[in-house]
Amino acid sequence: MFQKLLVANRGEIALRVIESCRELGIRTTAVYSEADQGSLPVRLADEALCIGPPDARGSYLSSLAILSAATISGTDAVHPGYGFLAESAEFVEACEETGITFIGPPRGVMALVGDKLAARREAEAVGIPVLPASGPLVSLAEAEEAAQDLGYPLMIKAAGGGGGRGIRVVPDREKLRREFDLARREVGEAFADSRLYLERHIVPARHIEVQILGDAFGNVVHWGERDCSVQRRHQKLVEEAPAPSLDEGLRERIREAAIRLARRLDYRNAGTVEFLLDTEGRFCFIELNARIQVEHPVSEILTGRNLVTEQIRIAAGEKLGYSQEDLVFSGHAIECRLNAEDPGQGFVPSIGRLAIRNLPSGHGVRLDTHIYHEMEVTPWYDPLLAKLITWGRTRDEARVRMAGALARFEVEGVKTTRNLCQEIIASPPFARGEYTTGFLATIGTG
């Protein structure tokens, strides 16, 4: 097992990694930008090193700064969390060359699944359906030609990178002309890769994903599936597990498809295989995210296991130590993302000094957060303040428990998505488990 691990991230996921390392007896080094000097990860890690300015390009996105900190602190391994360098094959390669273990899949797998078009080809090779799509596009002229062959409506998507960056729905040629160059600039700045592709847009549809975990000995398991259809700007807001209103045969086919793809790739560590499901029960592969996901707590709660400690154990060379049959899923879990955003103004980020009046707790309630009273919310990073998760023996019990927990999340000083989450949880379509990726627009926001 590692002696010391560097946490190459910030916020609540950095705290998760620090807590998991403490359980495993591993010392931690936190890295931070000048904007995060007073953060909880800095205070709770065994040591902390400043790696640069608030601008992430000079700190959290700088491989050189992070690996320099790892060398100075004498760390054995680096956990990237999610976002920033978590899916950078170049960063994995730099870690390997430096002799530092990267907590995630090896460079070759990371490079392959990071290319969404290459990942689609691998899915097709094992018989998993994919949506009709173009090849990589670098100009509007190429996009217009591809769109003519595919037919509208379409989605513009980034060939490399994720997190909803660059995604645009284009119902017709005029919208494609307006959006293509905007999307190309956005993904070029976010991922240093401006390639785009077009993919058939299915409406209505559900977004279903499967949590997978593999070791270096060929063992692969899934931790069930999650429904992530409640989205704003193609980014998730509410997630739950197991996915509601799924025929059990379909549920097993989706899970089995994820395992099949993981085995073909010789996948190691944690990952998420994402699918779109149409109203006829047909599912198509979208992508494989080669990292831990924001919404992983709902899978942890159902299995009673810690995904972060599992990641670290696997990276240290240990076997999974259990089979698919050993995993027992209990009850239902729902997660709401509480972001510093103003839903009434198009989800623009909200900044300010937090005043915490009350935070929820109690049986079946989990709050993953890095916030503290009078913390300054800056414009530099992702607006996620907290992840509120509830568990119940049934879906309705988890939903009712979430309604109560949201009411007790009382944070002032910034606008948040709390009230919107309350509206979602209370809405009849959500209560019935009958909603799609277009659901948010039906309640007046999105």
Alpha helices in 105-152, H assignment, sequence order: 107-114, 116-125, 140-150
Mind listing the pLDDT tens digit for each residue in 136-152? 998 999 999 999 999 99
Q: What is the DSSP letter of 258?
A: H
Examine the residue annotation and report whether 399 is marked as an active-site residue of this protein: no
Res 192: pLDDT: 64
Given a contact cutoff of 8 angstroms between Cβ atoms, the answer to whether 27 and 18 are in contact is no
Instruction: Give the 3-state secondary structure of residue 347.
Output: coil
Q: Residues 230-242: what's their mean pLDDT?
A: 93
For 343-370, letters b (16+ CB in 10 Å) and e give: beeebebbeeebebeebbeeebbbbbbb
Phi-psi region of 163 (alpha: psi -120 to 50; beta: other; left: phi over 0): left
Where do you find CATH 3.30.470.20 in the chain?
A: 205-442
Assign domain 205-442 to its CATH architecture.
2-Layer Sandwich (3.30)
- At 441, the pLDDT band (50, 70, 90 cuts) reads confident
Mean pLDDT of the chain: 95
Could you give the residue range(s) of every CATH 3.30.1490.20 domain in the chain? 132-200
**Element holding 176 (H helix, E strand):** helix 173-191
**Which class would CATH give 4-103?**
alpha beta
Catalytic residue among 291, 366, 395, 418: 291
Residues of the chain with CATH 3.40.50.20: 4-103
Residue 165, pLDDT score: 78
pLDDT (tens digit per residue) in 174-215: 999 999 999 998 887 776 678 899 999 988 999 999 999 999
Pick the CATH number of 132-200 from 3.40.50.300, 3.30.1490.20, 3.40.50.970, 2.40.420.20: 3.30.1490.20
Mean pLDDT of 262-286: 96
Which pLDDT score is estimated for 187? 84
Average confidence (pLDDT) over 358-372: 98
Per-position DSSP letters for 267-324, written without gaps between them: --EEEEEEEEEETTS-EEEEEEE-S--TTTHHHHHHHT--HHHHHHHHHTT------G
Residues 48-82: tens digit of each pLDDT:
999 999 999 999 999 999 999 999 999 999 999 99
pLDDT on residue 446: 45
Residues 303 and 250: their CA atoms lie apart, in Å, by 21
**pLDDT of 75-110, one tens digit each?**
999 999 999 999 999 999 999 999 999 999 999 999
